[in-house]
Structures are given as structure tokens and as C-alpha cells.
């Protein structure tokens, strides 16, 4: 087509881990993990593999996605997205509910998707493969059947799935235990068929710095797979902690109509040292086949920031607006809640053009259902702000903005009252300690405020304005390094949102937000 241009990685910035994609004609669809955020599993559409537009959220009802008391890094793990004979299938694991491994289906990838079919299978990271004879096979990760010798001593196993009953049938076959001897966490398996071979593509060695991609093949799904002698076929662990792209793994591959092969995978971009505040993002790399095995990023063997785009027609997508004015009937698709929202705590109709949040009993450091509407951090440097109207009824009512890594690592910038004036507070939660970094009282009750968070790499600045024009700083140079999985553990990236709490008591007080702005700077 000779329309090549250069694109920038990641193709999805921010917390979009465990990407899976499929092709339907000229169209490509991609899904990613969401853990304890709701709605779950965003789905994107593209025609060039570079520019992706979110068209829905696959799990958009509590019946599909129960998240009661889920830790922020629990909930939904590693979806696989597939298409077969007019139906889309998404299979994943809810590690926080009895659903376990389950499937949902749809005719239209934008939804609605079905209620979940729970499979009762062991382990995590399930995937589906449709063979030439129409049979469907389940592929997953679980501890070795003969007994795990250590945590993460797993097997990749295969079993037939009856699509009529959505039940696993027949014998379960141990396919592979990973490429390296005594490897931890062979996981994230996908099966493909090419030139008479079944290929099993996996990740191994955990999802941190040692993450790696390996592949094996077999002539039969019921026989052991033989690993590629060049394994791992992609990793960045040998490049060191200072390399700008790390933790490479969890891939999925696709062949374009013109015969090119491309791989999506997750990786992280640390900044300010080895700190990955954005979590695990989605990257795109070229792939080729030589002597029956894949070569990832031919000639380079690494994931690069700038690459030549696929030989596909440019696909134009509408950028996500920097500012949301809440003048629509529903929240934008990229907005999320932490766990299942309490419906009566949110409204887009109470006050026209405003998002209303009730000061909920639960707070961000609990495992409950706080009033929190958020989006992903997508940039190293950014400005996040909201304009809000708020009249607290008691000193326990607070509302404002937050940057949230997990229950034990977050910052909150909140307005409240001491009964006679408006009080602004910057609160840091780190590990098991909540600290009031700064608190100031304004000269009087201020019903309307603009609250702003600016990040310059790992330096955070909290600012406010009473007129929407002139800003004052309440806290400067707050430490951003606590807001990453390297400090906290877990699997998620940061989110930024508006938040309202009554700090453990019931309240009928609402805060009204008339805009949210997120800008990379």
C-alpha cells in the first residue's frame, strides 16, 4: 500500500495491561484487564493497529462483574478476545468472585454482552482456540497437576470446550511448563495454528522486570509441546533497570489481510528512577516467521518507541477530550468506578451539566464502594483538575480530587468545613498510615472551588482557586514515587478522579462537579 508512517509506542498509554486482540476482516478489536475497576474490560476498535478507539466496556453490569470487597489488584485478570462464525467471545477470570473463569459473548463487539458462563475450571489466564474442524479448546494456567514445588510452578493445560453447553469436556492435557528450568509463572497462554503446527505463546518469569515471552509448538493439542530453542523470543530483562521500556510480556498476535504479522504486548515506562506509576501499557511490535518460528521485532529484538507502522490504511479516531463537561446522559467510556458503584450515590441529572457525588460512608482506603469517578493516568507530566460546588453539612463531609494507586497508596485533595470556613486538606495514605500533609482555612465559606493536581515527573503539586483564574499552592513537591507497584505491589497503574466521602458516617450531602480536565503537559 506504500502508505507507511512512523508511530509511537505505547499505542494505549496508561493502565491497559494484558492486551488481547482479534481480527475480523479489515477490523481489529482489543481488550485489556481492569482488576477491581468497573465497568470492566474496555474494548477498542482499529483498522491500522496503531490508532484505537474505545467502543464499549464488555463487563458493564454488576451481574457480569461482582467486585464486593475486591482489592484493587484483584477482580478481573487477563482477558482473551476471540471471534468465531459471527460471535465474539471474551474469556477471563474474576479472582474475587465465585465466577472464577468465565465467558461472555456478543454479536456486536460494542455490546451488549451476555451474562457470564462460569466454567468451574482451575487457575487463571484462560484463552480460547477454534480449530479448523470447528471444535473449541480452552487453554489456561494452573499449578502443576503432579504438585507444585514452589509458588508459581505452573502448567499450561488444554481441554475441549463444548460451545453448546459452555462446559469443559473430555480430558485435560498438560501442554507445557515454560521454557526455562524451574521457571516461575508460565501464564497468559494463547494457541495459534500455522502451516500444520499448533503454536503455544506464553509469558513467564512473572510480570515484573524478568517478564519474558516464550513459544512452543506441537502437531497435536493432546501431546506435549516442544519449546523454541531461541526462547525467550522477547524480553527486556537483559537491558537493565535503566532502560526506558521494561517488564515486556503478555503478548497476542495477529496476521493482517496482506500477510504481515504483528504482536501486541504489555510493558512499562518507568520514570524518576525505576518507578512505574502508569502501570502496564499496551505496545505494538512487528513480527515475522523464519524456519517455523516467530522473530519478534526483526533486526532489533526489542520493543522500540518509534517504529514504521503496519501496511494498512490510516484509521482516524476521535481523541479523548481533555475536558468532560457532563452534558451527556452517561459517563464517557474511559471513566471508571472503584468496584461496583452504589447507584444512588451518583447522578448526572440532579443538576444539569454536573456530575453529582454523594459523600459516601466508604473511603478510598477501604475495600468498600467509595464515591469515586476516575480515569487513567496516561502521562509522566500532567495537569488534572475539577471545578466543583460543595456545601458540606458536617465536618465529616469532604469532596475533591484524588490520585489513587491502591488502598494503601494515594493522595487526596479535599474541601470540607470547620463550621465557619471552608477547609482545604491534602491527605497522603502510604502503607498503613494516613497523614495530613497540609490543611488551610479560607477566609469564609467558599461554595465553588477549582482543585488542581500537577505532576512534573515524580513531583506533585496541589493547587486551588476560588475564582477559576488565580491559583495558590497548598502543597508542593509531594513524593510521587509511592504511587507505583514497585512501592506497593500489585498490578495496576494510577487513576485520577473526583471523590466524595463522609468518613465512615451516613450522609445525604452531594458534591457537584461541572467539569474534569486531564491534560498531558
The per-residue pLDDT for range 92-120, each reduced to its tens digit, is: 999 999 999 999 999 999 999 999 999 99
| Phi-psi category of residue 354: left, alpha or beta, with phi > 0 → left and psi -120 to 50 → alpha | beta
Contacts 24+ apart (CB under 8 A), 102-106: 103/128, 103/166, 104/58, 104/59, 104/64, 106/58
pLDDT for residue 445: 86
pTM: 0.97
Q: What angle do CA 483, 207, 291 make, to 5 degrees?
A: 145
Q: Average pLDDT, stretch 128-143?
A: 97
Q: Average pLDDT, stretch 416-439?
A: 96
The closest of 261, 265, 263 to 249, measured between CA atoms, is 265
Distance CA 156, CA 135 (A): 19
pLDDT for residue 2: 59
Q: 18 catalytic, yes or no?
A: yes
Distance CA 348, CA 509 (A): 15
503 exposure class (CB count in 10 Å sphere: 0-12, 13-18, 19+):
middle
In terms of pLDDT, which residue wins out, 3 or 6? Answer: 6
CA quadruple 453, 454, 460, 462: dihedral, nearest 10: -40
Q: 379 catalytic, yes or no?
A: no
Residue 1 clears pLDDT 70, i.e. is over it: no
Residue 247 clears pLDDT 60, i.e. is over it: yes
The closest of 30, 71, 42, 29 to 335, measured between CA atoms, is 42
Q: Which of 155, 160, 187, 397 is catalytic?
A: 187
pLDDT for residue 308: 97
To the nearest whole number, what is the mean pLDDT of the chain? 97
Strands (E), 47-86: 53-59, 76-84
| pLDDT confidence bin for 4, thresholds 50/70/90 | confident
Contacts 24+ apart (CB under 8 A), 315-322: 315/46, 315/47, 315/48, 315/50, 315/51, 316/51, 317/46, 317/51, 317/52, 317/53, 318/53, 322/517, 322/518, 322/519
Residue 432 clears pLDDT 90, i.e. is over it: no
CB of 215 closer than 8 Å to CB of 231:
yes
Q: Which of 18, 160, 407, 454 is catalytic?
A: 18
pLDDT for residue 155: 97
Give the tens place of pLDDT for each residue, 309-338. Answer: 999 999 999 999 999 999 999 999 999 999
Size (the chain), residues? 521
Beta pairing class for 40-46 and 27-31: antiparallel
Give the tens place of pLDDT for each residue, 466-520. Answer: 999 999 999 999 999 999 999 999 999 999 999 999 999 999 999 999 999 999 9
Distance CA 199, CA 191 (A): 6
Express as a percent the part of the chain with pLDDT over 70: 99
pLDDT for residue 168: 98
- The gap between the terminal CA atoms of the chain, to the nearest Å, is 35
Amino acid at each position: 500500500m506504500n502508505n507507511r508512517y512512523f508511530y509511537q509506542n505505547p499505542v494505549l498509554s496508561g493502565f491497559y495491561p494484558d492486551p488481547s486482540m482479534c481480527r475480523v476482516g479489515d477490523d481489529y478489536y482489543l481488550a485489556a484487564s481492569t482488576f477491581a475497576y468497573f465497568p470492566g474490560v474496555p474494548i477498542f476498535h482499529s483498522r491500522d493497529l496503531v490508532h484505537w478507539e474505545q467502543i464499549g466496556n464488555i463487563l458493564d453490569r454488576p451481574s457480569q462483574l461482582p467486585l464486593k470487597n475486591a482489592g484493587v489488584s484483584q477482580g478481573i485478570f487477563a482477558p482473551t478476545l476471540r471471534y468465531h462464525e459471527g460471535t465474539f467471545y471474551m474469556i477471563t477470570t474474576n479472582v474475587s468472585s465465585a465466577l472464577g473463569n468465565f465467558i461472555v459473548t456478543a454479536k456486536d463487539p460494542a455490546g451488549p454482552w451476555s451474562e457470564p458462563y462460569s466454567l468451574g475450571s482451575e487457575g487463571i489466564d484462560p484463552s480460547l482456540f477454534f480449530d479448523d474442524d470447528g471444535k473449541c479448546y480452552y487453554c489456561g494456567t494452573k499449578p502443576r497437576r503432579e504438585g507444585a514445588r514452589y509458588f508459581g510452578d505452573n502448567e499450561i493445560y488444554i481441554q475441549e470446550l463444548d460451545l453448546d453447553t459452555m462446559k469443559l469436556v473430555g480430558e485435560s492435557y498438560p501442554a507445557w511448563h515454560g521454557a526455562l528450568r524451574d521457571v516461575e509463572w508460565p501464564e497468559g497462554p494463547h494457541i495459534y495454528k500455522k502451516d500444520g503446527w499448533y503454536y503455544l505463546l506464553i509469558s513467564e518469569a512473572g510480570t515484573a522486570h524478568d517478564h519474558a515471552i516464550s513459544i512452543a509448538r506441537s502437531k497435536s493439542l493432546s501431546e506435549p509441546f516442544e519449546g523454541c530453542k531461541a526462547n525467550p523470543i522477547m524480553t527486556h530483562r537483559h537491558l537493565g533497570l535503566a532502560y526506558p521500556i521494561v517488564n515486556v510480556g503478555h503478548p497476542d498476535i495477529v496476521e493482517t489481510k496482506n500477510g504481515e504479522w504483528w504482536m501486541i504486548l504489555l510493558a512499562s515506562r518507568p520514570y524518576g528512577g525505576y518507578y512505574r506509576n502508569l502501570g502496564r501499557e499496551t505496545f505494538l511490535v512487528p513480527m515475522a516467521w523464519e524456519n517455523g518460528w516467530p522473530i519478534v521485532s526483526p533486526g532489533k529484538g526489542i520493543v522500540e518507541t518509534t517504529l514504521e507502522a503496519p501496511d494498512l490504511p490510516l484509521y482516524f479516531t476521535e481523541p479523548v477530550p481533555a475536558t468532560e463537561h457532563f452534558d451527556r446522559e452517561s459517563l464517557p467510556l474511559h471513566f471508571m468506578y472503584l468496584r461496583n458503584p452504589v447507584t444512588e450515590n451518583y447522578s448526572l441529572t440532579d443538576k444539569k451539566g454536573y456530575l453529582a457525588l454523594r459523600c459516601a460512608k466508604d473511603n478510598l482506603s477501604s475495600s468498600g464502594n467509595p464515591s469515586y469517578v476516575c480515569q487513567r493516568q496516561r502521562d509522566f507530566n500532567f495537569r488534572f483538575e475539577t471545578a466543583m460546588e460543595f456545601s458540606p453539612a458536617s465536618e465529616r463531609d469532604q469532596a475533591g480530587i484524588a490520585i489513587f494507586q491502591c488502598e494503601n497508596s494515594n493522595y487526596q485533595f479535599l474541601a470540607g468545613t470547620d463550621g465557619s470556613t471552608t477547609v482545604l486538606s491534602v491527605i497522603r495514605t502510604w502503607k498503613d498510615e494516613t497523614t495530613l500533609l497540609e490543611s488551610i482555612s479560607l477566609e469564609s465559606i467558599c461554595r465553588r472551588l477549582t482543585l488542581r493536581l500537577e505532576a512534573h515527573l515524580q513531583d506533585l503539586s496541589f493547587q486551588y482557586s476560588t475564582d477559576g483564574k488565580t491559583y495558590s499552592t497548598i502543597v508542593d513537591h509531594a513524593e510521587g514515587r509511592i504511587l507505583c507497584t514497585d512501592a506497593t505491589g500489585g498490578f495496576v497503574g494510577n487513576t485520577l478522579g473526583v471523590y466524595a466521602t463522609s468518613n465512615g458516617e451516613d450522609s445525604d450531602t452531594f458534591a457537584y462537579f461541572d467539569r474534569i480536565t486531564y491534560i498531558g503537559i
